[in-house]
C-alpha cells in the first residue's frame, strides 16, 4: 500500500505512543524513547512487521514513545496507516494475527 499523505495517531501521554507517517523512499524509522536502549529494537520490530503486513515499503515513520506496550504501538500504528492510506473504513483483520 502507498502512503498518500501525512497522518498522525496517538498521544504523548504516559504509556502511549505518538506515531507520524509520511511519504518517503524505503522505510526509515526515527524513534524517540527514554527506553530506547532496552526496547528500541523491539519497538522497531513491531513497526516493521506491521508495515510488512500492510505491504508498505516506502514510508517515513516518526515514533515518540512514552513507554507504550506492544499492543498500544500496534493499535496506534494501524490507526496512522489507515489515516495515511485513506482506508479508515476498510478494516484489515488479517494484520491482527
Partner 1 sequence: MDTIKMDLSDPYYYQQWKKLIENEGLYIENLDDITETIGIYDEDKLIATGSYFNNVLKYLAIDQEYQGGNVFNKLVSYLISNLASQNIFHVFVFTKTQYQSSFEYLGFKMVAKSRFSTLLETGDYSIDQYISELPKVSGNNISAIVMNANPFTLGHRYLVEEAAKQSDMVYVFVVSQNASLFKTSERVELVKAGTKDLKNVVVITGGDYMVSFVTFPSYFIKSRSDVVTYQTELDAQVFKRIAKSLNITKRFVGEEPYSPTTEIYNQSLKKILAPEIVLEVLKRKEIDDDIISATKVRQAIAEADLETIGKYVPKTTFDFIKMNLKDLLRRINNGN
Binding mask 34-73 for partner 1 (x = CB under 8 A): x-------------------------x-x-x-x-------
Q: Which of 2, 4, 28, 32 touches partner 1 by CB under 8 A?
A: 32
Burial (CB < 10 A; 0-12, 13-18, 19+), residue 28, is: exposed
- The residue behind cell 526515527 is 30
Q: For residue 94, what are the β-bridge partners?
A: none
59: left (phi over 0), alpha (psi -120 to 50) or beta: beta
Q: Which of 5, 49, 57, 70 touches partner 1 by CB under 8 A?
A: 5
> Which residues lie near partner 1 (CB under 8 A)?
5-8, 11-14, 18, 20, 22, 32, 34, 60, 62, 64, 66
Amino acid at each position: 500500500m502507498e502512503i498518500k499523505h501525512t497522518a498522525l495517531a496517538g498521544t504523548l501521554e504516559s504509556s502511549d505512543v505518538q506515531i507520524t507517517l509520511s511519504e518517503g523512499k524505503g522505510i526509515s524509522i526515527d524513534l524517540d524513547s527514554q527506553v530506547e536502549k532496552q526496547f528500541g529494537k523491539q519497538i522497531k520490530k513491531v513497526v516493521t512487521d506491521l508495515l510488512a503486513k500492510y505491504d508498505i515499503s516506502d514510508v517515513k515513520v516518526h515514533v515518540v514513545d512514552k513507554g507504550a506496550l506492544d499492543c498500544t504501538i500496534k493499535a496506534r500504528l494501524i490507526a496512522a496507516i489507515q489515516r495515511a492510506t485513506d482506508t479508515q473504513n476498510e478494516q484489515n483483520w488479517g494484520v491482527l494475527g
